[in-house]
């Protein structure tokens, strides 16, 4: 290092507008993404996002800016934001700076890597298409996930996105011996505390890392926490050759934080007020999630859909990166059909005969066809009653209602609320159950016997029959399973 570079690069604040800080450097200008520190002990951290001229940079604060004023001394850290990597980070919870926030001892002597990394080149990516088995029936049967791919959980507030993510963490660690990384972007700190406690009680924390950029933190911190989580995931994939399950809750908050940063930086807003660089920013994050010969990062991302509007630009841009889309339905949640996944709107690029096999593909198509026909018949049933349908249509209704109930499932992470033991169901058992229902093997069994069970082998167990919540069906339809 030259003597000029060895000396600290010191600047001074020239203006402060909320989270946007302009800094003057007379000696040399810090590069883009460099961290700047100010205040006592460097407690105020900023990231350079633009170079205004030969002596001024504009930075976005990653911490609150209380106490910052014009003329205050600013120190160039000489590098970008770094995330800790290594075995020591397992079972710990971090903030965007790599500080532990779980009440445990601080990490020491841990390697830090820049959060600004390039996606793996195409030559290093794996070309194999493999299924990532979740143990959740409706996902594995109708919208199978790709190992090393990206899946989106779409839904409004309160339909079960976080519960579904938590269940997948449990299944990944307990049954597939992988590493799970949970990244909370702009979510409630209460959820983080509950998740940490539940994972510790379940005994899966030793193979899990958690990062949080809480909703009360500045937009700059929320915008970078996803990059920090990916840096950790890339370490386990590339250095330790392990499969990683990266769960992001919520990718919409990443886009939202980017919109706040863009507005603060003075950029002209685009459609519906989103930032003009939304597509580039999202792609920069998503393209780092990939399947290489060393291992795979499989990502499942909760996507909040504003006002349940799937034409919103945030939802549309996110869709373009996904290999599977799992859509949560408020109507199904109100009917007690959990997980509240809409089987007709959810889809996967893996659901082709060449990947899942001809039997799985044909069964999935028949399940969708049966449920779609039932959806079309609901208006007739509501107006005229079930008795006015032909015998063939009544058979379709009976099969569809039994399929809907069989595709519900008790979760391990909700045992304390439901009193039902969680179930992990293999794909073969799920397909066998659906095939037998479609063949009318359970036409003499009450619908409720198929509700909240694992495999069809549990149908005849009286203790497994749970009274399902009342749905908005007609009396005639409600008694359609009577002998």
Query: Which residues are CB-neighbours of 427 under 8 A, at least 6 positions away?
Result: 131, 133, 140, 141, 144, 360
Q: Which two tokens stand for residue 408?
A: 């519900």
Contact criterion met (CB below 8 Å) for 64 and 221: no
Instruction: Provide the angle, in degrees to the nearest 10, between the axes of the packed helices 391-406 and 358-384.
Output: 120
Give the integer Cα–Cα distance in Å for 209 and 249: 14
CA atoms within 13 A on the CB side of 52: 15
Question: Which active-site residues does the annotation give?
Answer: 161, 187-188
Closest of 415, 462, 419, 455 to residue 435, by C-alpha: 455
Closest of 459, 449, 404 to residue 141, by C-alpha: 404
């Amino acid at each position: 290092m030259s003597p000029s570079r060895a000396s600290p690069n010191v600047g001074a604040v020239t203006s402060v507008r909320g989270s946007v800080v302009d800094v003057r450097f007379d000696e040399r200008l810090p590069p883009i993404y460099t961290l700047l520190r100010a205040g006592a002990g460097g407690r105020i951290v900023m990231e350079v996002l633009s170079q205004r001229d030969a002596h001024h940079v504009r930075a976005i604060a990653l911490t609150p800016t209380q106490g910052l004023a014009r003329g205050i001394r600013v120190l160039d850290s000489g590098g970008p934001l770094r995330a800790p990597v290594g075995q020591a980070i397992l079972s710990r919870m971090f903030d965007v700076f790599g500080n532990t926030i779980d009440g445990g001892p601080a990490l020491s002597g841990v390697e830090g890597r820049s959060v600004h990394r390039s996606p793996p080149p195409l030559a290093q990516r794996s070309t194999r298409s493999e299924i990532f088995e979740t143990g959740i029936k409706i996902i594995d049967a109708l919208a199978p996930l790709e190992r090393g791919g990206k899946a989106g959980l779409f839904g409004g507030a309160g339909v079960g996105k976080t519960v579904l993510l938590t269940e997948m963490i449990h299944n990944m660690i307990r049954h597939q011996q992988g590493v799970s990384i949970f990244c909370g972007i702009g979510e409630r700190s209460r959820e983080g505390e509950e998740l940490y406690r539940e994972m510790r009680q379940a005994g899966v924390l030793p193979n899990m890392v958690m990062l949080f950029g809480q909703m009360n933190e500045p937009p700059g911190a929320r915008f970078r926490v996803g990059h920090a989580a990916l840096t950790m995931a890339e370490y386990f994939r590339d250095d330790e050759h392990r499969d990683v399950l990266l769960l992001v809750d919520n990718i919409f908050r990443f886009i939202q934080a980017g919109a706040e940063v863009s507005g603060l930086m003075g950029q002209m807003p685009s459609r519906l007020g989103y930032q003009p660089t939304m597509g580039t920013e999202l792609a920069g994050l998503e393209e780092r999630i990939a399947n290489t010969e060393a291992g795979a990062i499989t990502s499942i991302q909760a996507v909040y859909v504003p006002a349940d509007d799937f034409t919103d630009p945030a939802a549309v841009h996110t869709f373009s990166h996904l290999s599977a889309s799992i859509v949560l339905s408020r109507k199904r949640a109100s009917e007690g059909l959990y997980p509240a996944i809409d089987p007709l709107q959810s889809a996967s690029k893996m659901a082709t005969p060449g990947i899942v096999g001809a039997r799985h593909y044909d069964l999935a198509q028949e399940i969708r066809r049966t449920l779609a026909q039932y959806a079309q018949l609901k208006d007739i049933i509501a107006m005229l009653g079930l008795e006015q349908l032909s015998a063939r249509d009544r058979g379709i209704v009976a099969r569809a209602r039994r399929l809907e109930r069989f595709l519900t499932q008790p979760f391990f992470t909700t045992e304390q609320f439901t009193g039902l033991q969680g179930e992990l169901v293999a794909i073969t058992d799920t397909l066998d159950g659906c095939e037998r229902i479609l063949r009318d093997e359970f036409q003499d069994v009450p619908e409720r016997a198929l509700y909240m069970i694992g495999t069809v082998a549990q149908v005849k167990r009286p203790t497994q029959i749970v009274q399902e919540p009342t749905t908005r069906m007609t009396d005639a339809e409600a008694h359609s399973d009577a002998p």
